[in-house]
């Protein structure tokens, strides 16, 4: 399943269809601030995020859908999704850095500088992207991403059917 283009195509298409209708599925959000997110709600949203281990499932979409299912507002679900990614990304980055460090016997001073500059730039760009994404979501919802995923999933299915992609 992890190497299957068909799995990716189906999950892209299914995710797109869900995103097209998500605003209608969860109409009455009551959680509009992070203080109102209980441990139980956070746990359930984290379980939803685990669905993203299936190829083609977006981690952020899975956790946003989970957040909305737990009655978070659109913007609160999106914001929580981004914060939920931090421990995962830190663990993955830490693992890669540790692996690199042990295989190469350390870092050079130039590599430390590159890591520092890269992390600072990535942080600034991420904050700008998150701010843009959340304001976009408040205005337009998930329909654009639903259309995108539906088109890409359909195109992938056609390419698989035609034998262009295995």
- Rounded-to-integer distance, Cα 81 and Cα 49, Å: 9
Average pLDDT, the chain: 89
Mind listing the pLDDT tens digit for each residue in 60-82?
Answer: 889 999 999 999 988 899 889 88
Residue 9 has pLDDT above 80, yes or no: yes
Residue 3 has pLDDT above 80, yes or no: no
Q: Where are the domains of the chain?
A: 5-161
Residue 140 has pLDDT above 90, yes or no: no
Residue range 95-114: mean pLDDT, rounded: 87
- Residue 72 has a pLDDT of 92
More confident residue, 26 or 153: 153
- Residue 57, both tokens: 């499932």
- Residue 20, both tokens: 């097209």
- Rounded-to-integer distance, Cα 107 and Cα 46, Å: 34
């Amino acid at each position: 399943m992890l190497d299957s283009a068909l799995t990716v195509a189906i999950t892209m298409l299914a995710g797109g269809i869900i995103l097209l209708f998500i605003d209608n599925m969860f109409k009455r959000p009551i959680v509009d601030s992070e203080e109102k997110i209980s441990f139980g709600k956070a746990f359930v949203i984290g379980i939803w995020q685990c669905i993203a281990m299936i190829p083609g499932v977006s981690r952020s979409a899975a956790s946003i859908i989970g957040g909305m299912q737990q009655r978070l507002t659109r913007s609160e679900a999106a914001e929580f999704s981004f914060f939920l990614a931090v421990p995962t990304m830190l663990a993955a980055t830490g693992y890669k850095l540790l692996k690199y460090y042990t295989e190469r016997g350390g870092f050079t001073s130039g590599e430390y500088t590159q890591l520092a500059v890269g992390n600072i730039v990535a942080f600034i760009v991420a904050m700008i992207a998150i701010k843009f994404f959340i304001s976009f979501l408040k205005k337009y919802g998930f329909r654009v991403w639903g259309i995108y995923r539906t088109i890409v999933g359909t195109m992938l299915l056609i390419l698989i059917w035609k034998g262009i992609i295995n």
